[in-house]
Structure 1
């Protein structure tokens, strides 16, 4: 039932998610074969220079193979037919020097230049050992296109207009799955230095976005299915998916927040026990997830009865494009967007958090969060303002459940921060004290004992 199995000779154990997919040696590796005795690729934390050299070589091979699959003539003819204007597509070759202007972590963008000066982008998904199964990638293409179509047809939120899309299949003449969309002018908000007036201008526009999304409720939690079917389907977030004999296994859609959160936590517990997630700190992660499932989830979902609302799930600031006067010209990268609870959908975007303070475990709101809540209150959106003021529960929960980064220090901070936000901490209780108590509480738990007997407990 694992997403991928270890590719080491003779091994059929589940591959570790994220960290276990090594693009340097093109391998999926289990916990055992990720060890230094078996896996000899350079570690970026130990030898960054050697890692960068090897990564650049692997990326060149990957992108050369991907771009060779693109039928440039078919792409050009398709775009020209759709717009009824002649266009050109540049010769495709990978250039490491320009990668940051055309490629992100998961997608590559091919410019389609029309003779009248208009430019579209052909957004195609990267494909390497870290990619999820093709069936999942195709669902992401359809869901992202559906999200853009929903936003452009039913709201005034500035997003690029999409003109065409296709999944990766033998019948696709372009050769790869893609979305054809407008190219928007502007620069990422996260790359800008804002003065007080600039910041207020952006927050007012961000309030417009929240208010617009609040006007379009959904009755289920999940991702939009298809541009031609804007109903809600399963959740597509990477940590929620599985594969069984080549078939994709997805969670949802969900009709209640309790069902959504309970199912997500139980799935994460399965991944921990299977050695696919939190392999650096499996006992800690198991205790946290069990405790949240048993003692926290009820209080979090008590007032989350629905309806549900669309949320951009990667809101770090580079998804917002602004012009030189800090007017928002577009919100992009809706790839992982899903409907979720009101409290999660309208918590402050991560871009507004004081990152250092937040990751240290503090729940103190940043100046920008307080200002944003004030803007919403001034617009008579008291409910939305309360979501921002109380957003730490949503932020902490998202980083506690399935937030495996390989950083063993972040989980205790997020978990103790979650308990503090829920007012569940005992006075002056430390993580170490809580952990000791949790080990006693679950000492007869079969899952915990399996982890300990497996040699994971230190």
Structure 2
């Protein structure tokens, strides 16, 4: 992997740089703590009127191209601008941006509203129920709201979108940019596309998908009310069949069946929370359809393989099937 670019970086200049985005030109105070999340380092600045902003700087984005780093940040800005036009309540607001390395900070950045809260702690044992169920119900509402607020019906059929993704991957394989994946792996992947996609959703709307709805990116207060969702760097406008998948932490942690008992209970709560609030809730009906097949875990893994090189490699090596650990244990016991 290419080394991280290390140009001159001046965090002490962040307050002056972001003051340009305030109508009154007020220069904030830079909080001495910073937070690392995903591809970015996040700094907090505090204004005299009590307002706080988060400044996202992609210091951890690994690329040998300044343009590539800038484009990733531009994509995130486009997503946040689109969300900002809606009533979706859990994303930070965009205040301003700089897409240059020769600014006072020495690095491109986004200036966003600061969302109070702490990253959600989520393990198989914590939080306990009923707090666990409270969080899951909120996450279900967040996902439903994001799709409702950002749906776009003018993007074309789902099959065309996913076929283009696979075709682009084949081109990258031929150019030597995906050394762990073969062209046959991509052809096998394409042959399964019609089995995975729901024909009823072929022409359903596209919607923004967060891309990494994991506990680290979900902020909660002391009573486990979700205050916001952060790190929209992997978000994009995708077919509903991708946007409506279960959040990452409700998917299999490894491609092996069956899901453990806790995960099954969590999914049951999440799906129940998604049940239509009215008989006319089309979006909720579509999301429930995505979660209903018996082979939902394979479908989730397959869709993940379209955007994840690691999952593509893993599924290809498994012959595009998910092993069943219980059957494997039974077979092992029977051999003695």
What TM-score comes out, normalization by structure 1 length? Answer: 0.59
**Greater radius of gyration (CA):** 1
* Offset of residue 173 of structure 1: 5.3
Q: 1:143 to 1:324 in 2, by over 3 A?
A: same
Tell me how large the CA RMSD over aligned residues is: 3.3
* Offset of residue 70 of structure 1: 7.1
Q: 1:156 to 1:68 in 2, by over 3 A?
A: closer
Aligned length: 311
Deviation per CA, 1:364-401, whole angstroms, max 9, x where unpaired? 87321222111112634333222233443542123333
Q: How far, CA to CA, are the matches of 1:286 and 1:161 in structure 2?
A: 42
| Aligned residue in 2 for 1:56 | none
Aligned residue runs from structure 1 range 293-304, under 5 A: 293=190, 295-301=191-197, 302-303=199-200, 304=202
Q: How far, CA to CA, are the matches of 2:119 and 2:311 in structure 1?
A: 27
Is the CA contact 1:320–1:332 (under 8 Å) kept in the aligned structure 2?
yes
Q: Is the aligned partner of 1:187 residue 2:118? A: yes
* Offset of residue 69 of structure 1: 7.9
Q: 1:308 to 1:393 in 2, by over 3 A?
A: farther
Q: Is the aligned partner of 1:88 residue 2:22? A: no
Aligned with 1:384 (options 275, 278, 287): 287
Aligned residue runs from structure 1 range 150-161, under 5 A: 150-161=82-93
Q: 1:177 to 1:82 in 2, by over 3 A?
A: farther
| Aligned residue in 2 for 1:42 | none
The one of the two structures with greater contact order (alpha-carbon pairs below 8 A, sep at least 6) is: 2
Q: How far, CA to CA, are the matches of 1:296 and 1:67 in structure 2?
A: 47
Is the CA contact 1:308–1:341 (under 8 Å) kept in the aligned structure 2?
yes
Is the CA contact 1:347–1:394 (under 8 Å) kept in the aligned structure 2?
no
Classify the secondary structure of the residue corresponding to 1:154: coil
Classify the secondary structure of the residue corresponding to 1:340: strand
Is the CA contact 1:369–1:389 (under 8 Å) kept in the aligned structure 2?
no
Q: How far, CA to CA, are the matches of 1:264 and 1:161 in structure 2?
A: 30
Q: How far, CA to CA, are the matches of 1:360 and 1:393 in structure 2?
A: 9
| Aligned residue in 2 for 1:277 | 178
* Offset of residue 90 of structure 1: 5.8
Is the CA contact 1:163–1:180 (under 8 Å) kept in the aligned structure 2?
yes
Aligned residue runs from structure 1 range 34-433, under 5 A: 65-68=7-10, 71-72=13-14, 74-75=16-17, 77-78=19-20, 81-82=22-23, 85-89=26-30, 101-126=34-59, 130-131=62-63, 133-168=65-100, 170=102, 172=103, 174-191=105-122, 193-215=126-148, 216-219=150-153, 255-279=156-180, 282=181, 285-293=182-190, 295-301=191-197, 302-303=199-200, 304-355=202-253, 358-362=254-258, 366-377=264-275, 379-380=277-278, 381-390=284-293, 391-405=296-310, 409=314, 411-413=316-318, 415-417=320-322
* Offset of residue 186 of structure 1: 1.2
Is the CA contact 2:217–2:231 (under 8 Å) kept in the aligned structure 1?
yes
Q: 1:388 to 1:74 in 2, by over 3 A?
A: same
Q: How far, CA to CA, are the matches of 2:147 and 2:313 in structure 1?
A: 36
| Aligned residue in 2 for 1:453 | none
Q: How far, CA to CA, are the matches of 2:141 and 2:234 in structure 1?
A: 21
Is the CA contact 2:256–2:322 (under 8 Å) kept in the aligned structure 1?
no
Is the CA contact 1:141–1:178 (under 8 Å) kept in the aligned structure 2?
yes
Q: 1:132 to 1:150 in 2, by over 3 A?
A: farther
Deviation per CA, 1:2-58, whole angstroms, max 9, x where unpaired? xxxxxxxxxxxxxxxxxx43x3xx7xxxxxxxxxxxxxxxxxxxxxxxxxxxxxxxx
Q: 1:83 to 1:109 in 2, by over 3 A?
A: farther
* Offset of residue 83 of structure 1: 5.5
Question: Which residues of structure 2 form unaligned runs of 5+?
Answer: 279-283, 329-336
Which has the larger displacement, 199-208 or 110-119?
Answer: 110-119
Q: How far, CA to CA, are the matches of 1:119 and 1:166 in structure 2?
A: 18
Classify the secondary structure of the residue corresponding to 1:102: strand
* Offset of residue 346 of structure 1: 1.0
